[in-house]
Amino acid sequence: MSLAPRQQNILELVRERGYVSIEELAQHFAVTPQTIRRDINQLAEVGLLRRYHGGAAHDSSVENTAYSMRASQMRDEKRRIAEAMATHVPDQASLFINIGTTTEAIAHALLNHHGLKIITNNLHVANILSAKDDFDVLIAGGTVRSDGGVVGQATADFMKQFKVDYALIGISGIDEDGTLLDFDFQEVRVSQAIIDNARKVYLAADSSKFGRSAMTRLGSLEQIDSLFTEARPEEPFAQLLAANKVKVVIAE
């Protein structure tokens, strides 16, 4: 494909930043959002970038997007998903919460609850929720990553000591066969321990996660009780969710 100068510049910006919104690109190039959408569609059709709702990204199956970029991506969608999930968590419940910017949004959404007991390997989540006097927050030990995640075998072993009511988890990608995927095998071990030791598992995944590649297998949709997302999943995901009896909650 022969790229127009603007399309080449879009591609360079997306590769540099990891994710760029349509609004940002339209302002940068002084064109309409519709023009940017057409450019993104053409670039996505030949596999040069990945089209997301509201923007475009350059995805790698071996390395996650930088934390600062992930924190700014799909921010409104994550907030809506978090608020929807929080309504399904009762007061006086015990929770696991894992690593991720979506789970950090969930932590904010839980601040109106009462009497929660939270076990997490996410320093940002612990910091958000420890502000509530009637919450008990336990932070797992292990190796601290630059994004505030705590990982390692010691972290997984810590999680295995508990049996909680709900696991509130995020994910990097969901493959077309229903496999849940992530990037860091040490993080995956912890998330697997979280899933195995919760009575109900709630997965928060915005629409950008469907079909996204990552190299480490975390689990499968059959382990999930409810999926919270902001847009109705398309095929084959809708069929997989139904086949695995996963309740789908759309955050309007």
What confidence tens digit (pLDDT) does each residue in 43-53 have?
Answer: 888 878 878 76
- Judge if pTM exceeds 0.85: no
Nearest to 149 by CA among 109, 115, 194: 194
102-106: list long-range contacts, CB under 8 Å, 24+ apart: 102/78, 102/170, 102/204, 102/205, 102/206, 103/168, 103/169, 103/170, 103/204, 104/71, 104/128, 105/78, 105/79, 105/81, 106/81, 106/82, 106/168, 106/204
82 in Cβ contact with 105 (< 8 Å) = yes
Is 62 a residue whose pLDDT tops 50? Answer: no
Helices (H), 87-150: 101-109, 123-129
Whole-angstrom distance, CA of residue 152 vs CA of residue 102: 21
The domain defined by 70-250 folds into Rossmann fold (3.40.50)
| The predicted structure's pLDDT at residue 243 | 96
**For the chain, domain boundaries:** 5-58, 70-250
Between 220 and 210, where is the model more confident? Answer: 220
| The predicted structure's pLDDT at residue 235 | 87
70-250 has the same fold as 5-58: no
At 67, the pLDDT band (50, 70, 90 cuts) reads very low
At 66, the pLDDT band (50, 70, 90 cuts) reads low
Task: Indicate the CATH number for domain 5-58.
Answer: 1.10.10.10
| The predicted structure's pLDDT at residue 46 | 81
List the single range of 7-11, 155-159, 193-197, 239-243 with lowest mean pLDDT.
7-11
What confidence tens digit (pLDDT) does each residue in 120-129 have?
Answer: 999 999 999 9
| The predicted structure's pLDDT at residue 202 | 98
Whole-angstrom distance, CA of residue 208 vs CA of residue 248: 16
Both tokens assigned to 85: 């999930």
List the single range of 82-96, 171-185, 189-203 with lowest mean pLDDT.
171-185
Indicate the average pLDDT of the chain: 89
